Amino acid sequence: MSAQTFYLTTAIDYTNGAPHIGHAYEKVLADTLVRYQRLRGRSAYLLTGVDQHGQKVQQSAAKVGQTPRAFAEEKTALFVALYRKLGVSHDGWAATTDPRHVRAVQVALQRLFDAGQIYKGAYEGFYSVRQEQFLTDKERNAEGEFGPEWGEVVQLREENYYFKLREHRDWLIEYISANPGFITPPYRAADVLHAAQKISEDLCISRPKTRLDWGIELPFDRDYVTFVWFDALMNYVTFAGWADGADGVKAEPALPEFERLWPADAQIIGKDILVPAHGIYWPIMLHALGFSDAQIPRLLVHGWWNVKGEKMSKSLGNVIDPDVLSTTYGVGALRYFLMRDIATGADADFSEERLISRFNADLANGLGNLLNRALNMALRYRGSVLSRGGPAAEAEEIRLVRDAALTAVDRYQEAMEAKLPHAALEALWGIVNAANGLVESAAPFKLAKLTDDAAAQQRLDAVLYALAECLRIVSLLIEPVLPTEAAGMRAQLGLSAPAPGEDVLPLCEWGGLPEGHKLNAPVPLFPRIEVPKA
Ligand code: MSP
């Protein structure tokens, strides 16, 4: 792992369409994990961006009469705006048309070419003129033919450049077997191992400009551009500063220092791009470029959001727009739902009803209600000034809440370290539930009426203090998922933000609020989402 900075990347998004809920999920996941690192006082760097080259972008641009560059830039703006709106705080932005990236990709291609890892060869096969791609047997229909969707199919011979993938097959098999940490969750490693065992051909890494010119030129043959995956995968190293200055030229604007970031501690990708791109091509590319085994980055593979059990697709008309959702329900509602409702690694089914019911149950009725009730009672019964409650603070009911908080903090930490925000949130709600339970069982509104009963008054103090402590701890630990709401909670609780670079975990020990601490008046943070009755 990199010595100083936790380096996390996400897959870069294709700019041949608009961002959807899957893109939003991946970036919020990355943002949450990076914010957790910072919460622990660690330094962290998030790289994300856009994959702007390739045939699909060229085709989509042609359809609307735009240049590929103008088209890609227009789509890129949509991703940038969405991530800004969702509070995704990336440190580096990888756009594959960035001249700094183009240069680094060409350095890599040239090095591989010079090392004899890339050679020219000819390929003959069936080619769809309409789709502009070679077809394999996989594209044949049940009758064994290429269906009408492929248009005219001709036999074509084409010269291209090939990367010696096969030569590294045994290395990869060994690497996967010896490094169980390479792929998370571990059950996905089996697919990669299986695919590695089946590597039987080298990888075609070029496209003649006569049929695709929207790409990065091969430095050793300007009649070709490089295959879009070779270009895209390289983003993880080029934007971390790899080979910067190799040819005497330092990138402008400056790139990070490569040794400070590499290897990435986690590269977040969806399950669809594990095999072959990230599980096969990527480690082999790095290995062939001279990266050692210790410099191969780790992959964190997440599942897919489906809709009513089906894949989202334009043709089904079921694509979920995160921009619309966050406008309708709020950024916090969307971030919370995305982090709570899917287990990292697994698939999940998106539904607006689930988003609403999660929000109402966990945030409006759970945390929001607790915050509101606790602050209201403290205001009414104690002028918002807290007191620990003397011996009542040691009563069984308070000890139970304190223990629940301690357990929740431990479980939260374990889950976040394992990159499982859903489990961390579930753990954190152990505190919310225990605190709400205390309100029910101790009934502070009844205690408040017993003004002549000193024991009852101490008990009331102890209960109000415990509720405020629970809220303080939740406000600290909810930050990676709900940064804005965490600040809102702190403001109401009369707390300042932890110092940057400070590990927040020790602050989660019970009893952090001083005697006499003054709370502020409650302001509803999570108003219930009312669904109009049909
Ligand atoms: N451009 C490539 C990645 C290159 S990385 C060097 C790509 N782009 S994509 O736009 O199709 O997907 C971007 C990311 O979003 C991928 O990790 C992909 O798995 C993820 N998702 C796309 N659809 C998704 C869902 N429905 N659900 C969750 N994530 C999904 O692949």
Mean pLDDT of 108-133: 93
CA of 347 to the centre of ligand 1 (A): 14
Mutate to test the pocket of ligand 1, among 76, 267, 273, 307 (most ligand atoms within 8 A of CB): 273
CA of 280 to the centre of ligand 1 (A): 17
434 ligand 1 Cβ < 6 A: no
49 ligand 1 Cβ < 6 A: no
pLDDT at 2: 42
Asked whether the predicted pLDDT for residue 1 surpasses 60, the reply is no
pLDDT at 133: 85
pLDDT at 3: 53
Q: Please report which confidence band the pLDDT of residue 498 belongs to, taking 50, 70 and 90 as the band edges.
A: very high
Mean pLDDT of 32-60: 97
Assigned fold of 6-19+47-318: Rossmann fold (3.40.50)
- Which ligand 1 atom is the nearest neighbour of the CA of 51? 1
Q: pLDDT tens across 445-487, in order?
A: 999 999 999 999 999 999 999 999 999 999 999 999 999 999 9
pLDDT at 161: 98
pLDDT at 465: 98
57 ligand 1 Cβ < 6 A: no
Q: pLDDT tens across 176-209, in order?
A: 999 999 999 999 999 999 999 999 999 999 999 9
Rounded to an integer, what distance in angstroms lies between the CA atom of residue 526 and that of residue 386?
24
Examine domains 6-19+47-318 and 351-508 and report if their fold is the same: no
The candidate with the shortest Cα–Cα distance to 223, out of 239, 238, 208, is 208
HEC sequence for 79-98: HHHHHHHCCCCCCEEEECCC
Rounded to an integer, what distance in angstroms lies between the CA atom of residue 203 and that of residue 506?
51
The candidate with the shortest Cα–Cα distance to 103, out of 288, 222, 247, 209, is 247
Class for the domain spanning 351-508: mainly alpha
pLDDT at 491: 98
Q: What is the mean pLDDT of the chain?
A: 96
- The structural domains of the chain, with segments of one domain joined by +, span 6-19+47-318, 351-508
Rounded to an integer, what distance in angstroms lies between the CA atom of residue 227 and that of residue 286?
16
Mean pLDDT of 513-528: 97
Q: pLDDT tens across 294-304, in order?
A: 999 999 999 99
98 ligand 1 Cβ < 6 A: no
Asked whether the predicted pLDDT for residue 131 surpasses 90, the reply is no
**Bridge partner residues of 135 (DSSP):** 126
268 ligand 1 Cβ < 6 A: no
Q: Please report which confidence band the pLDDT of residue 129 belongs to, taking 50, 70 and 90 as the band edges.
A: confident
Asked whether the predicted pLDDT for residue 505 surpasses 70, the reply is yes
Q: Please report which confidence band the pLDDT of residue 249 belongs to, taking 50, 70 and 90 as the band edges.
A: confident
- Which ligand 1 atom is the nearest neighbour of the CA of 236? 6
pLDDT at 248: 87
Q: pLDDT tens across 316-349, in order?
A: 999 999 999 999 999 999 999 999 999 999 999 9
Q: Do 244 and 250 contact (CB within 8 A), yes or no?
A: yes
| Residue type at position 118 | I
- Which ligand 1 atom is the nearest neighbour of the CA of 13? 10
Mean pLDDT of 132-157: 92
Q: Please report which confidence band the pLDDT of residue 533 belongs to, taking 50, 70 and 90 as the band edges.
A: confident
The residue whose CA has the least distance to atom 16 of ligand 1 is 270
| Residue type at position 31 | D
